[in-house]
Amino acid sequence: MIYRSLKVIPVFVGFLLIWEILVRSLNTPSWFLPAPSVIFAELGNHPRLYLAQSFYTLMTTMLGFTAAFVAGVILAIAIVYSRILENTLYTLLVSFNSVPKIALAPLFIIWLGTGLQSKVAVSFLIAFFPIVIDMVLGLRSTDPDALNLFKTMHGSPLQALIKIRLPNALPYMFSGMKVAISLALVGAVAGEFIASQSGLGYVILTAQGMFFTARVFAAILVLGLMGTILFYLVDLAEHLVCPWHVSHREEEAAVAARG
Amino acid sequence: MGAVAFDSAASIQGSHLVEFENVEKIYRSKRGDVAALQGITMHIGEAEFLSVLGPSGCGKSTLLRCLAGLEKPSGGDIRVGGKSVSGPPHNLGVVFQRDILMEWRNVIQNVLLPVEARRLRVADWRERALQLLELLGLRGFENRYPYELSGGMRQRVSICRALLLNPNLLLMDEPFGALDAMTRDELNIELQRVWIEDAKTVFFVTHSIPEAVFLGNRVVVMSPSPGRILRTITVDLPRPRDLSVRETPEFGAYVREIRTLFQEMGMLRAR
């Protein structure tokens, strides 16, 4: 997995080289398209700025994601076990899912102010849906014969949930989590765009106002790095928790086949 | 010789552990009712190995599920140990066609699942789990995961799991159907060995005529939907039976009789 990612680096470096050459030869203005060397210089000159603002965005993302995870899993279990909730709440959630959640961000600003809470709320709201929907799918996809077999063993429904349904739903849960972590970051940045005094989104917005494009790119670079690391952390967690899952086996088989 | 067949379910010596009385199962749907089972009356004696044989769709799996308490018959009564079945009977072992192992647990953890379901102490049963694994040729595989095992090995694990708590009734629904012919033969022999050592009452569903005759004390032959009992045949071959018994004329006579029965019903010609 890590080996495959390392292969991207020479491609990325090549891309940066072409970009650098193009900018220098075409003499594009810096406010329009800065050269990579200028962007990296900007990063190197203000490390503390980017570190501090990244931390703020990261905090928002992690709070929103964690809340989405906890609420999502609990709600998914409740929906699967309650016919009433399934017919009401789940249907609502699925239809509400098609509303662009970012459009609700200004609403949260009105309700919760311009502090951390409103941005966490936006982050939470966007990240919440994939977790619930995938978790419900995972819980529902339990083999009915496995549940029947457990019944013949005289196991209780609670044991069936803990020992059979939940472990079976874990791969689906991680699938939802991978989508959710990326969306939580999007929500955090979107919230910062709308009303904030900190965070990488705020950095981008103020830099844009000054046509300080190098700073915009630098912030985007940091965001991209953050998003990639967060995604791979969830992926790593999945490898640790569900090593038995078929997709991982297929991965190993494919690697083995390639020799 | 003893290739004697008789039409009604004759009584055998020993008490009847399981009794079916006029069992009926009708599936109701908007497109009309489908009768899966009709007028099933039969019994299974203590420590008897009963093969239930029939073509696909004859209701034999439905019958097994009714006996397992997973489905309710639309009519009639099923009694285990004198008590009517209204939910899974006490002390049951079940093996389905798919092994249904928990992929996230290793072999011995899978085998010990019934202990956890009953909230007994796992440590008390570990030794028996290991003995069963050894009995079924899986010594050394306790800590492997299901995805590391072949289909035959996985099914052996599910048999160990079914036998763990020493059930007095073992239900098997085409357990070797998904396996290749050689593994199937191997497991037929092993199952017979396990049954001889640890006498249990077995309700064994299959669509293979030779398998039904090889394993069973009696063979109940069912008709296609709606499933009725066409004939009950007592297999009078000595135990333990090894695979070569399948070449004896007596064995052939039983298989021929059943095949003729199916042909009379127009079943084989229709394929």
pLDDT at A184 over 80: yes
User: Do B152 and B209 fall into the same domain?
Assistant: no
pLDDT at B82: 86
**Domain-ending residue, one of B123, B149, B167:** B167
The CATH number corresponding to A2-258 among 3.40.50.1820, 3.30.450.20, 2.40.420.20, 1.10.3720.10 equals 1.10.3720.10
Report if residue B269 sits inside a domain.
no
pLDDT at A248: 59
Structure pTM? Answer: 0.82
Go through B129-161 and write b for each residue having 16 or more CB atoms within 10 A of its CB, e for each that does not. bbebbebbebeebbeebbeebeebbbbbbbbbb
Q: Which domain, by its residues, includes B216? A: 5-91+168-264
User: Do B176 and B253 fall into the same domain?
Assistant: yes
Q: How many CB atoms lie within 10 A of CB B59?
A: 26
User: Span A173-194, mean pLDDT?
Assistant: 94
Nearest by Cα to A69 from A230, A193, A251? A230
pLDDT at B19 over 80: yes
CB within 8 Å: B104 and A244: yes
- The more confidently predicted of residues A254 and B213 is B213
Query: What does the pLDDT look like over B74-98, one tens digit per residue?
Result: 999 999 988 888 889 988 999 999 9
Report if residue B135 sits inside a domain.
yes
Q: Please report which confidence band the pLDDT of residue A252 belongs to, taking 50, 70 and 90 as the band edges.
A: low
Q: How many CB atoms lie within 10 A of CB A151?
A: 20
CA distance A154 to chain B (A): 6
pLDDT at B11: 39
Report if residue B96 sits inside a domain.
no
Residues of A in contact with B65 (CB under 8 A): 148
**Closest partner residue to A244 among B94, B117, B145, by Cβ?**
B145
CA distance B180 to chain A (A): 22
Q: Please report which confidence band the pLDDT of residue A3 belongs to, taking 50, 70 and 90 as the band edges.
A: low
pLDDT at A251: 61
Domain positions in chain A: 2-258
Residue of B nearest to A240 (CA): B104
Report if residue B63 sits inside a domain.
yes
User: Do B132 and B35 fall into the same domain?
Assistant: no
pLDDT at A249: 60
Residues of B in contact with A156 (CB under 8 A): 117
Query: What does the pLDDT look like over A77-135, one tens digit per residue?
Result: 999 988 888 888 888 888 888 888 888 888 888 999 888 899 999 999 999 999 999 99
Q: Please report which confidence band the pLDDT of residue A214 belongs to, taking 50, 70 and 90 as the band edges.
A: very high
pLDDT at B7: 29
User: B80, B104, B106, B119: which to substitute to probe chain A, counting the most A Cβ within 10 Å?
Assistant: B104
User: Do B40 and B86 fall into the same domain?
Assistant: yes
pLDDT at B1 over 50: no
User: Do B128 and B193 fall into the same domain?
Assistant: no
User: Do B137 and B151 fall into the same domain?
Assistant: yes
User: Span A53-78, mean pLDDT?
Assistant: 95
Q: How many domains does chain B have?
A: 2
Query: What does the pLDDT look like over B33-76, one tens digit per residue?
Result: 888 899 999 999 989 999 999 888 788 999 999 999 999 999 99
Distance CA A117, CA A136 (A): 28
CB within 8 Å: A153 and B98: no
Q: Where residue B86 sits, what CATH number does that domain have?
A: 3.40.50.300
User: Do B12 and B133 fall into the same domain?
Assistant: no
User: B residues 66-85 near A, CB within 8 Å?
Assistant: 68-70
